[in-house]
Amino acid sequence: MRFVTIVWTRLLQDLSEQLRLFDFFAKLLYGRSTEFCGMERFNIYMLLEFTLKIKTLFILLLLNSVLFSPGVSAEMLAMLNYETEPQQQPRQEGIAIMDVDPDSAHFGAIVDHVSLPADGVAHHIFYNKTLDKAYIANLGNGALRVMKMRQTPLNPKDVNVPMCQVAEDIAFSDDGKLWYLTCMGSSNVVVGDAHTDKVMQVIDSEDQQRFIQNPHGIGLNQSIDRLLVTSTIRPDLTNPGNTVTEIQASTGKIVATHIISAPGFKGGSSPVEAVFIPHSQPAQAYINTMFEGRLWLAAWQNQTKQFQFKPVFNFADVKQGVPLEIYFSRDHKKLYVSTAKPGALNIFDISANPEQPRLIKSIPTAAGSHHVVISPDERFAIVQNNFLNLPEMNDGSLSVIDLHKMKNIASINTLKDKGWKANSILMMPQWHTDDAH
């Protein structure tokens, strides 16, 4: 498709030039009316028009042959931010833009590359609402960077957020005017202007009853004016939390901090993601507890204006642990949850009742299953297999899941073979359909 795009662009440019010349000669012809009689002007005009039609027909025939030639391949591009393995020197970070379409002749190939600072430890990438800016959250130096996706080449720029340490997740307001950034190392949420990328507010609290501690996941639902922020773990992976903080989105006021841990569970459950089901009425959000290994549901109660939290699935029942990311099908009737250990993509039916997700199938992937992208036609899911380079959760490959056949059909080892480990994956804007993040 990249070749097709280039040819198509050049053909359009040629056609545009022919139209410009036709217009020029037509004006010139009629402007010199004293040099040609009426019949001569008519004949020359008809000749110009005939020539233009022949060239236009040629262009269309050539375009048809390009588009429908057996040699033309499909294309589906995704961004993967990666870092070299710890033992590799010199250390390198970057974003690989890869063709992840199994039907493409260039399947698994890196078609473009963006360099990143070697000390940034880029972790997640999020689009704004209009998909023209991509925000890179970093665990290391420079908490936040932004790329304008309509510029070539892509060039990440630092966003000045000195009050944020160890940036994690970002949520955007429905109107696209604000972003909310969780900062695990500084235990706060930074609110920014999504147009200027200037900080507008810092939400934090040391109150023992209403607090934010080592936040990671964040979910925003403006229909109820609420943010849900998970208390996950310290950056050094000690002292796991067991709470989710509820914040009034319009003011930044902390409403409550809720315990998310089943009775009898010892230690911190480590809630990691909080993702609202798009357009659900009443509002509902799923929450993963990384160490407890459960899926929870936060259900908004319209009468009391409060959330009710309850566990709805235990991954231990299917011999899995470390649930991480949460995604939905485009009709929001299916739920996808990745688990890092031993590595799987779990597909649930939530169409009947989100409080009772029905497991359709657990599809084995590879150790460290983490972020997921889904093709626009929902035929394929691409699973990125690496979780913080942790032992037994750092395979480094990409698993290709056929969602129609419900099975793992291929492994992409392009980055793995180079000694690079992807930290996340995100479709390029043309193929991005995720409306929950």
* Ranges 54-58, 107-111, 146-150, 340-344: which has the least confidence: 54-58
H helices, E strands: number in the chain: 3, 28
End-to-end CA distance of the chain: 27
Q: Express each pLDDT in 327-347 by its tens digit.
A: 999 999 999 999 999 999 999
CB 138 within 8 A of CB 167: yes
Count other Cβ atoms within 10 Å, centred on residue 346: 22
Residue 10 is predicted with a pLDDT of 46
Which are the contacts of 35, defined by CB distance < 8 A and separation ≥ 6? none
Band of residue 68 on the pLDDT scale cut at 50, 70, 90: very low
Report which secondary-structure segment, H or E, holds 95.
strand 93-99
Closest Cα to residue 365, out of 315, 326, 327, 402? Answer: 402
Least confident of 9-23, 87-101, 361-375, 380-394: 9-23
User: What is the widest separation between alpha-carbon atoms in the chain?
Assistant: 100
Inform me whether the pLDDT recorded for 56 exceeds 70.
Answer: no
Name which residue leads in pLDDT, 176 or 57.
176
Beta strands per DSSP E along 43-91 = 77-84
Token code pair at residue 56: 């236009």
- In whole angstroms, give the CA distance from residue 67 to residue 60: 10
What integer pLDDT is reported at residue 86 of this predicted model?
83
Mean pLDDT of the chain: 89
Q: Which of 156, 151, 146 is nearest to 181 (CA)?
A: 146
The pLDDT value given to residue 314? 98
Token pair for 188: 């706060």
SS (H, E, C) 169-204: EEEECCCCCEEEEEECCCCEEEEEECCCCCEEEEEC
pLDDT tens for 184-219 read: 999 999 999 999 999 999 999 988 899 999 999 999
- Better-scored residue on pLDDT, 60 or 380: 380
The DSSP letter of residue 364 is E
| Whether residue 233 has pLDDT greater than 80 | yes
CA-CA distance, 108 to 200, in Å (whole number)? Answer: 41
- C-alpha 387/C-alpha 339 separation (Å) is 10
pLDDT at 2: 43
Q: Is the N-terminal amide bond of 357 cis, ω within 30° of 0?
A: no
Q: Is the pLDDT at 30 greater than 90, yes or no?
A: no
> 335 vs 27, which has greater pLDDT?
335
- When mean pLDDT is compared across 86-95, 368-377, 401-410, the lowest value belongs to 86-95
pLDDT higher than threshold 80 for residue 369 = yes
d(CA 232, CA 238): 10
**Is pLDDT at 35 greater than 50 in this prediction?**
no
Neighbours of 435 (CB within 10 A): 11
Helices 2-31 and 38-67, axial angle in degrees (round to 10): 180
Is pLDDT at 71 greater than 50 in this prediction?
no
- Range 263-287 average pLDDT: 96
- Residue 4 in this model has a pLDDT that exceeds 60: no
What is the strand order of the sheet 110-116 is part of? 110-116, 93-99, 77-84, 420-427
- In the prediction, which pLDDT does 287 show? 98
Share of the chain above pLDDT 90, in %: 80
Q: Looking at residue 87, what is its pLDDT?
A: 83
Which pLDDT score is estimated for 27? 52
Give the pair of three-digit tokens for residue 84.
């070299």
pTM beyond cutoff 0.75:
yes
Alpha-carbon distance of 136 to 159, in angstroms, equals: 10
pLDDT value of residue 66 = 45
Task: State the Cα–Cα distance between residues 285 and 246, nearest whole angstrom.
Answer: 12
Q: Mean pLDDT, to the nearest integer, of 100-128?
A: 97
User: Is the pLDDT at 24 greater than 60, yes or no?
Assistant: no
Candidates 181, 247, 175, 252; CA nearest to 217 is: 181
Please give the pLDDT value at position 206: 81
Q: Percent of the chain at pLDDT above 70? A: 83
